[in-house]
Amino acid sequence: MHDIRKIAAVDKPGFYRELLAQAEGLLAGERDAIANAANLSALIYEALDDINWAGFYFLKSPGELVLGPFQGRVACVRIPVGKGVCGNAVASRRSLLVPDVHAFTGHIACDAASRSELVVPLLRDGTALGVLDLDSPTQGRFTAGDQAGLEALATLYVAASDL
């Protein structure tokens, strides 16, 4: 059993170093992509303040992301590549930090309470496999520090999982 410890880091880099260490322990020895995504989304949801959704979408065909394990309210099941924040992040193979989702042209509102979003592509050797998606009910919730920390978690997930 894995015990999630409250992170007492004072700064964002320290917070994400501790979260990454907890994630490494959580994923150690497990290669199943679904099990790892389920546990990692739960860890992120418990550890980060002021988020209302944390989870995964996986590229199941060249043109469509399909919902994977997550924590939060019910979500959109399928997202076309190139549509919304998730679809654009996977198409561009780069993270998208959106301080105000209402200002993002083509935003897909799965949860009307979401105001900001951070989406990190899951990449292996330059190939997009899906995305890690986080939403917050607070506009401007995510920073470049969050982006760097969540990119490290996404890299760990891809390395630890048979996708």
Concatenated DSSP letters for 99-123? Answer: S-GGGSTT---SSTT--EEEEEEEE
Answer whether residue 55 shows pLDDT above 60.
Answer: yes
**Lookup result for tokens 């897909």:** 108
**3-state SS track over 87-105:** HHHHHHCCCEEECCHHHCC
Answer whether residue 1 shows pLDDT above 80.
Answer: no
**Tokens matching residue 91:** 């198409």
Residue 62 lies in a domain: yes
Give the chain's domain count.
1
Please answer whether residues 85 and 104 qualify as being in contact, where contact means their C-beta atoms are separated by less than 8 angstroms.
yes
Residue 132 lies in a domain: yes
Residue 7 lies in a domain: no
Q: State residue 9's pLDDT score.
A: 74
Residue range 56-85: average pLDDT? Answer: 96
Q: State residue 109's pLDDT score.
A: 76
Q: State residue 15's pLDDT score.
A: 95
Q: In what order do the strands lie in the sheet with 116-124?
A: 78-80, 64-72, 53-61, 127-136, 116-124, 96-98
Beta bridge partners of 137: none
Residue 3 lies in a domain: no
Residue 5 lies in a domain: no
Q: State which residues form the domain around 29.
A: 12-160
Answer whether residue 70 shows pLDDT above 80.
Answer: yes
**Structure confidence by residue, pLDDT tens digits, 3-22:** 677 787 779 999 999 999 99
Residue 152 lies in a domain: yes
CA trace torsion 94, 98, 102, 106 (10° rounding): 0
Q: State residue 156's pLDDT score.
A: 98
Nearest to 57 by CA among 78, 39, 27: 78
Residue 130 lies in a domain: yes
Residue 2 lies in a domain: no
- Check which CATH number belongs to the domain holding 151 and give it: 3.30.450.40
